[in-house]
Amino acid sequence: MSEVRVNNLSNENTTGGPTISGITTYSSSHFFVPPQGDTASRPSGCPPGSLRFNTDSAKLEYFKGDTLGWTEIDAELTEPLGENRTSDLDSSNAGIGVRGLMFNAPHPAFSNEIRYLTVSTMGTDQDFGDTTAAKANCISFGGKVRAASMGGQTTPSGSSWTNDVEMVFFSSTGNSTDYATLTTAKKEGGGFANRIRAMYVGAGYNIMEYLTIAEGGNFVDFGDMSNASEQCAAMSSPTRGVFTMNSYVPQYTSQNTIEFVEIMTTGNSTDFGDMTINRFACNSGSNATRGIICNGYQPSPAGAVQNTAEFLTIATTGNTIDFGDTTQARYSSFGSCCSGTRMVVPGGYVAPSVVNTIDSVEFASNANFVDFGDLATAGGPTSTSNGHGGL
């Protein structure tokens, strides 16, 4: 065994350090300092396994390769959820792992149902509990501990909306409780979160608002989007929230614009890039690196319901790239249930029909979605999980 005691090691040209091979042991009782920098300065083309400290998120992260990029190391170990049953093998919850929740699927009438599944295990969903009122077109967010259904439409005529936000704990099953209040009554916006903050964007306004998840209470103003938008496909990393734009006036026109915010700041949103096509009422989801937008309604040509998917890299800016296709074209199923590796898309509509299909895809695959199982209640719920990219 040899021992080296120096302050700095570099190569001949001082452009890098030496390669230490074999079994190497650090026995200092103090610490070592890895390279560090913010998210924008992440290097590319690194050897897989490269380590650095992200000064934006205050977490260590490692490089998984050119396709997946940098992934944060999560030091908070939580018990995987699910029931790990050997019976009822048709249920997704026969397995354990990240839990997905689906709120208020509005069919055959407005619903107060909360359903759940396990993202890692294909199969059917199960009953979780009920929200305090039947409603539709809600938007959800998920933290590590809590999930919430935000706002929504309370009458079929569309004349009555709510600003109520109801919360459940992922680790239990049961009914929701009152948790927070949006700045105004609204429906069909977009929602995303990291571990600290949850945000609601759009819903026919250009308003963005947020709250601290651990505190609940009243949402407060964050800043403005570039225009009043609704049915925004939203997703997040631990530092950034990304969402699509859809012009509200005239109603049901559509943009292909994407904007973003830095979640732990406040201020107006910034242009990110463009989708490959104009559409709205899409599904969206992400891991910490990659976001996917799929399905949706393209207003021109009239009635063009989509089954295509496209992806973006959250830490950069730029236009989306074709990903693959879902198993069935549909729209108006907000959000998705995501883990670090998989996106699960439940339900939706192909007017006048409702869809009970659940699809899934691996984020790294650039492939078509596959069948995951079937919803017990067809329709378009709002969905989230305790393992998506913001967490």
Q: Which two tokens stand for residue 331?
A: 């729209």
Q: Which two tokens stand for residue 367?
A: 């492939």
Confidence of residue 67 (pLDDT cuts 50, 70, 90): low
Asked if residue 99 lies in contact with residue 119, where contact means CB atoms within 8 angstroms, the answer is: yes
Maximum distance among all Cα pairs of the chain, rounded to whole angstroms: 78
Higher pLDDT, 314 or 61: 314
pLDDT above 90 as % of the chain: 58
pTM confidence score: 0.80
Q: What is the 3-state secondary structure (H, E, C) of 118-165?
A: ECCCCCECEEEEEEEEEEECCEEEECCCEEEEECCECCCCCCCECCEE
Measured distance CA(264)–CA(127) in Å, rounded: 34
- Average pLDDT estimate for 116-123: 94
How many other C-beta atoms are found inside a 10 Å radius of the C-beta of residue 134? 16
**What does the pLDDT look like over 259-280, one tens digit per residue?**
999 999 999 999 999 999 888 8
Nearest one of 352, 351, 344, 350 to 375, comparing CA atoms: 344
pLDDT at 196: 94
pLDDT at 141: 97
Asked if residue 137 lies in contact with residue 281, where contact means CB atoms within 8 angstroms, the answer is: no
pLDDT at 222: 98
In order, the DSSP letters of 342-371 are: EEEEEEEEETTEEEEEEEEEETT--S--EE
Which residues have CB under 8 Å from 156's CB, separation 6+?
Answer: 109, 110
**What does the pLDDT look like over 328-337, one tens digit per residue?**
999 888 899 9
Q: Which residue has the tokens 């969903």?
A: 125
Measured distance CA(194)–CA(185) in Å, rounded: 23
**What does the pLDDT look like over 246-257, one tens digit per residue?**
765 555 566 789
- Structural domains of the chain ordered from first start: 1-75 (no CATH), 81-385 (2.120.10.80)
Taking only Cα atoms into account, the Rg of the chain, rounded to an integer number of angstroms, comes to 22
The highest-confidence range among 58-72, 93-107, 244-258, by mean pLDDT, is: 93-107
Asked if residue 347 lies in contact with residue 380, where contact means CB atoms within 8 angstroms, the answer is: yes
pLDDT at 60: 85
The four Cα atoms 291, 358, 109, 297 give a dihedral, to 10 degrees, of: 50
Measured distance CA(230)–CA(186) in Å, rounded: 10
State the DSSP H helix or E strand holding residue 206, giving kind and residue range, or none if neither: strand 205-212
Verify cis geometry, omega within 30 degrees of 0, for the bond prior to 352.
yes
C-alpha distances in angstroms, 245 versus 45, 79, 92, 136, 275? 32, 37, 33, 21, 10
Confidence of residue 68 (pLDDT cuts 50, 70, 90): low
Q: What is the DSSP letter of 256?
A: -
C-alpha distances in angstroms, 214 versus 142, 197, 211? 12, 8, 9
